Amino acid sequence: MTSEPKIELGRRYRFAASHRLHTSRLTEDENCRVYGKCNNPFGHGHNYMVEVSVSGKVDPATGMIANLADLDNFVHREVIDPFDHRYLNEEVAAFRETVPTTENLCVEIFERLKMFPHAKLERVRIEETGKNSFEYSGNDAVGDRELLNSEGNKP
């Protein structure tokens, strides 16, 4: 009896976007205190790195869990094209009502990618900068959270 390993395919993508961390649940002073520099009303930007991990059976005919061209096209259509060189607060509908923290970005991107038809989405990990990274694996016991809007309610 041998145990075959579980195999995941990981792929990294990049986009650059601006955002502002601000919530109408808090006063101006509180926003300033909680979000600090990130509350600057003019916004600021990051080079985001999005790491997407998918799992599934390795097709013996191709040696692949999923064809990279299919994965790349899907991620570009669902995430990179609508996010790259955008102001997230205004130009991505989900963030009109939701603070675009990287935690919330992980959830939004996971929700967009979980419909990938050729493999199971395991995880989305985002580096906002080289020093901060965030991961979300969907509605499991640990990560069972939904986007909260700026009023603190589920949209």
Partner 1 sequence: MIQLTRKIEFSASHFYHNPEFSPEENRHVFGKCNNPHGHGHNYSLEVTVAGEPDPATGMVLDLKELKEILEQEVMQRMDHRHLNYEVPELAGQIPTCENIARVIWNLLEPKITQGKLHRVRLYESADLFADCYRNGAKSA
- Please state, as a whole number, how many other Cβ atoms lie within 10 Å of the Cβ of residue 4: 6
As given in the structure block, the two tokens for residue 40 are: 């600057």
**Which SS3 state, helix, strand or coil, does residue 82 take?**
helix
Which residues ranging from 8 to 27 are in contact with partner 1 (CB under 8 A)?
8-13
Mark residue 43 as left, alpha or beta (left: phi above 0; alpha: psi -120 to 50; beta: remaining): left
Q: Are 153 and 27 in contact (CB under 8 A)?
A: no
Least Å distance, CB 112 to partner 1, is 19
Nearer to partner 1, 1 or 141 (CB): 1
Which of these ranges, 6-14, 26-34, 37-45, 125-133, lies near partner 1 under the rule CB under 8 A?
6-14
Which residues ranging from 49 to 68 are in contact with partner 1 (CB under 8 A)?
53, 58, 60-65, 67-68
Q: Which of 30, 85, 90, 151 is an active site residue?
A: 85
Using alpha carbons only, how large is the chain's radius of gyration in Å?
Answer: 17
Does residue 28 carry a catalytic annotation? Answer: no
H or E, element range at 142: none
Does residue 118 carry a catalytic annotation? Answer: no
5 interacts with partner 1 by CB under 8 A: yes
Separation between Cα atoms, residue 81 and residue 23, nearest integer Å: 26
142 interacts with partner 1 by CB under 8 A: no
Nearer to partner 1, 41 or 130 (CB): 130
* Active site members: 38, 85, 128
What residues line the site for partner 1 (CB under 8 A)?
Answer: 1-13, 53, 58, 60-65, 67-69
